A = this chain, B = another copy of it.
Amino acid sequence: MSDFKTVQELKQLDPNIAAPFRSIFILRRKTLKTAKNGNPFLSIELGDAGGSFTANCFGDSEVFAALESVVEGSIVRVSGKTEYFNERFSPRLQAAEEVDPSEEEAQGMLSELVEIPPESEEELWADIEEAIAAIEHPKLRETVERVMEKMGPAFRTGTAAINMHHAYRHGLLEHTTHMVRAARALLPLYPQVDGDLAIAGIILHDIGKLEEYEGDFAAKVSRIGTLQGHVVLGFRTARKAALESKLNTDLTERLEHIILSHQGEKEWGAAAMAATPEAVFVSMIDNLDAKMGMVQRVLRNTPEGEEFSEYLAGLQTRVLLTPPDKS
């Protein structure tokens, strides 16, 4: 893609030649330090989906000025020359500037900058939109629409977790869409479950994570996330939208209950145990897709030829990666 180099491509260049390069990276960490001579310099870590490296920018340089006020998690366009220091790749940067994530060039590089799902954001989102449109009860549909009006853009890009399943850009959108698809496939088998409520509950179940985490490309727990947790934050958002949509009390309580109970067990953060057919249904599908998402991700990310993945804490085992022998 273009002449931009990824971290891996840069590291494969002949280390004995100072090669000029251009690229787009995420500014992962930025620390202001003082050199032994008393002068300030920036120690920065730049990275993409395939790796990262560290570089130093001295206080009197152009790059120092350009990066001084850029926040961690931003996308930056840099140019420089390859260089090695103590056998570690540590290029000399010559120019740097922040790039807006919506800029065309950044968009083109996005899949190489950060881990993203195999399906495009558009495909995934289309299914969410269709599922919302298919909610029959007008005020329930309106409730979901109101949340998405406000949260939609964040919902389309946010991660579903920091350490566990679907922990990558668009991960929340992917996980939610997969749950919607699973629910629609299963609803005919469990007629006791109200489809409208289940679908609305699924779309909103993790909405609190958009407030629990902060930082665009390097998520960490926010202040309000520490103080309240995503279950209560999602409850709050859904409740507000339901009140504005004049949803009746019964449906409001059932919708809220799905959010409050979806974590399954109190020690995992559930505020209540699932006590309606819809809440049991949603919390089980959440668990199913979370676990299957971990499997899908290691199948995608482990280098070919490995028989087993690394040990996965979420599954308490390694995953067998080779396909079944159907001969």
**Residues in chain B near residue A224, CB distance under 8 A:** 253
Point out the residue from B256, B288, B316 that lies within 8 Å of A288, measured CB to CB: B288
- The smallest C-beta distance from A30 to any residue of chain B, in angstroms, reads 16
Binds B, one of A53-61, A71-79, A97-105, A279-287: A279-287
Say if the beta carbon of A1 comes within 8 Å of chain B.
Answer: no
Question: Of all chain B residues, which has the CB nearest A140?
Answer: B326
Question: Of all chain B residues, which has the CB nearest A257?
Answer: B227
Point out the residue from B189, B228, B296 that lies within 8 Å of A260, measured CB to CB: B228
**Residues in chain B near residue A226, CB distance under 8 A:** 272, 275, 308, 317-318, 320
Total interface residues in chain A, CB < 8 Å? 77
Give this chain's copy count. 6
Main DSSP-derived SS at the A contact region: helix
- The smallest C-beta distance from A241 to any residue of chain B, in angstroms, reads 15
Given A223-B308, A231-B271, A236-B239, is A190 in contact with B326 using a C-beta cutoff of 8 Å?
Answer: no
Point out the residue from B186, B223, B272, B292 that lies within 8 Å of A190, measured CB to CB: B292
Alpha-carbon separation in the docked complex, A5 to B226 (Å): 40
**Residues in chain B near residue A36, CB distance under 8 A:** 14-16, 84, 87
Question: Of all chain B residues, which has the CB nearest A263?
Answer: B266
Q: Say yes or no: A192 contacts B296, CB within 8 Å.
A: yes
Q: Say yes or no: A273 contacts B228, CB within 8 Å.
A: no
Give me 19 A-to-B residue pairs in the complex whose CB atoms sit less than 8 angstroms apart, sorted by A's number.
A16-B37, A185-B186, A185-B188, A192-B292, A192-B295, A194-B326, A223-B307, A223-B308, A227-B254, A227-B272, A228-B260, A248-B325, A251-B325, A266-B268, A273-B316, A274-B317, A275-B315, A275-B319, A277-B295
